[in-house]
């Protein structure tokens, strides 16, 4: 069976292309995104929405962040953790490039640890991020948000323009809703809603049980976990 033709811009199958729904918006603070290679193949990755909608946004899929940084202007990294400063401290300074890491928590953290140049950049974080609307990925931290949500919230805060970039999140909502319809309400409830009400210990046991079920259905131990 031949592969389904993809839109060259959003990389979605042509019947699911969302390009016409993406608003074109001018952003005053430049956005730069370093994307983990595995994230590039994720069907519901959100970074591409930002790349299509923002006037000043560069999305780079990289194996070695250091090499990509040589081609970027001076930036600060938007990433929480030790040594990270509140984004409010950046608001009163000159406009500078905002660098986002696109990947799971584990993968983005590894990008930082394995890149001296990336780790050396000033680091900032959203002080009170809004709850995530990305409902189909489980993250180890309750305040985790998608790459697009981090970009939108950061830009709106720095530019003092609440809601200015909300149209980009509307596209994300559309993709998430479509995916939930495809998987079915029962599957969605079992995989995602259940995790919100379980204790961490219960989630761990549930994950082990689900992993065992997958191993019974798949031909080997290296089956994908998503």
Domain coordinates of the chain in residue numbers? 14-129+143-175, 184-217
Res. 211: pLDDT tops 60: no
161/65 Cα distance (integer angstroms): 31
- The angle formed by the CA atoms of residues 210, 211 and 214, to the nearest 5 degrees, is 90
pLDDT at residue 214, as a whole number: 35
14/163 Cα distance (integer angstroms): 29
Res. 199: pLDDT tops 70: no
pLDDT at residue 222, as a whole number: 32
| Rounded percentage of the chain residues whose pLDDT exceeds 90 | 43
Rounded to an integer, the average pLDDT of 45-62 is 94
Q: Which residue has the higher pLDDT, 33 or 2?
A: 33
110/125 Cα distance (integer angstroms): 18
Centre a 10 Å sphere on the Cβ of residue 38 and count the other Cβ atoms it contains. Answer: 14
Res. 28: pLDDT tops 50: yes
CATH value of 14-129+143-175 in 2.30.30, 1.10.30, 3.40.1280, 1.10.10? 3.40.1280
For residues 1 and 154, the answer to whether their CB atoms sit within 8 Å is no
Per-residue pLDDT tens over the stretch 166-184: 999 999 999 988 887 887 7
pLDDT at residue 213, as a whole number: 34
Rounded to an integer, the average pLDDT of 34-43 is 84
43/201 Cα distance (integer angstroms): 30
CA distances from 219 to 188, 208, 211, 222 (A): 24, 18, 13, 9
Res. 206: pLDDT tops 60: no
């Amino acid at each position: 069976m031949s592969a389904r033709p993809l839109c060259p811009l959003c990389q979605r199958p042509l019947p699911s292309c969302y390009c016409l729904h993406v608003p074109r918006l001018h952003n005053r603070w430049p956005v730069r995104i370093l994307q983990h290679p595995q994230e590039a193949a994720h069907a519901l990755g959100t970074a591409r929405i930002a790349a299509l909608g923002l006037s000043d946004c560069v999305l780079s899929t990289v194996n070695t962040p250091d090499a990509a940084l040589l081609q970027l202007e001076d930036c600060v990294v938007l990433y929480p953790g030790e040594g990270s400063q509140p984004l409010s401290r950046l608001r009163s300074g000159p406009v500078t490039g905002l660098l986002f890491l696109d990947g799971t928590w584990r993968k983005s953290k590894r990008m930082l640890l394995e890149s001296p140049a990336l780790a050396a950049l000033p680091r900032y974080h959203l002080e009170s991020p809004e709850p995530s609307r990305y409902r189909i990925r489980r993250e180890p931290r309750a305040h985790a948000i998608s790459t697009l949500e981090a970009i939108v919230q950061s830009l709106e805060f720095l530019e003092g323009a609440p809601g200015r970039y909300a149209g980009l999140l509307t596209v994300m909502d559309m993709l998430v809703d479509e995916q939930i319809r495809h998987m079915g309400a029962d599957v969605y409830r079992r995989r995602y809603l259940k995790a919100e009400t379980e204790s961490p210990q219960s989630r761990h046991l549930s994950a082990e049980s689900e992993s065992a079920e997958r191993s019974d259905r798949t031909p080997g131990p290296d089956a994908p976990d998503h």
